[in-house]
Amino acid sequence: MQIIRKNFGLKVLSLALAVIGWAYFRYAANPVLAARFDQQFSVPIVTANLPVGYIARFADKEAVVTVTSRRGEPAVKPDEIKAVLDLYNKTAGVYNIPVQLVAPNVVVQSLSPASVSLTVEKIDQRSFPLAFHYMSAQQTNVVVENARMMPTDVLVQGPQDALSQVSAIRLDVAMPQSPQSVDEMVRPVPVNAAGAEIGELEVSPDLIRVRVDFVQGTGSKKP
């Protein structure tokens, strides 16, 4: 008993250090066991199997996922994980779709959001005439003598809700400070009744040739 009691604290400390050292070399030196740790990723949410002629609109663009590699598996890379919304056979309407995780052989610890609310809209198209919109940063004494565009109409494609808001397809042309002729390619801009550009719409063609002759005015300019 005397042998055990003698320097008992040092013996306990030595034993603890020995156990810690064994654990370090047992686990840290073993890449298979050391690979088991939690990893957290932020991955983009994408859609799959959306029927042709439809578009999905949703606010949640990224999912945060925490995974643990299984024993014997290497650590996961961010590009190996996908957060997918399966929209098979989903036509126009409002849905709540579960987020499906496509990943290697891992244990999923958490996933947020677990589901996404979205709206599926039918894509439509309409033909619209083009309209000139003259812009001037300051007062100018030139007027439009002649204006031509080619073509005069465009085809606009997008969700039906966005198409219904289109008030005009505008060609923005800057007014010069002195008489001159302008020959340039201008992007047509779909706008609503308030003059604000409407997104989510594709205009074809996306560039219009514009020719405008500006001449000296008498204090007023043509609309």
Domain regions of the chain by residue span:
34-113, 123-216
Reduced to 3 states (helix: H, G, I; strand: E, B; else coil), residue 13 is helix
Q: What phi and psi values does residue 115 have, to the nearest 5 degrees?
A: -150, 160
* Yes or no: domain 123-216 corresponds to CATH 3.30.40.230: no
Answer whether 0.95 is exceeded by the pTM. no
The residue behind tokens 């005015």 is 217
34-113 and 123-216: identical CATH topology = yes
pLDDT in tens, 25-38: 554 445 444 445 78
Task: Determine the topology of domain 34-113 in CATH.
Answer: RNA Polymerase Alpha Subunit; Chain A, domain 2 (2.170.120)
List pLDDT tens digits, range 109-168. 899 999 999 999 999 999 999 999 999 877 778 999 999 999 999 999 999 989 999 999
User: Structure tokens of 103?
Assistant: 């990943």
What is the share, in percent, of the chain residues with pLDDT greater than 90?
61
Q: Which residue has the higher pLDDT, 77 or 47?
A: 47
24 or 126, greater pLDDT: 126
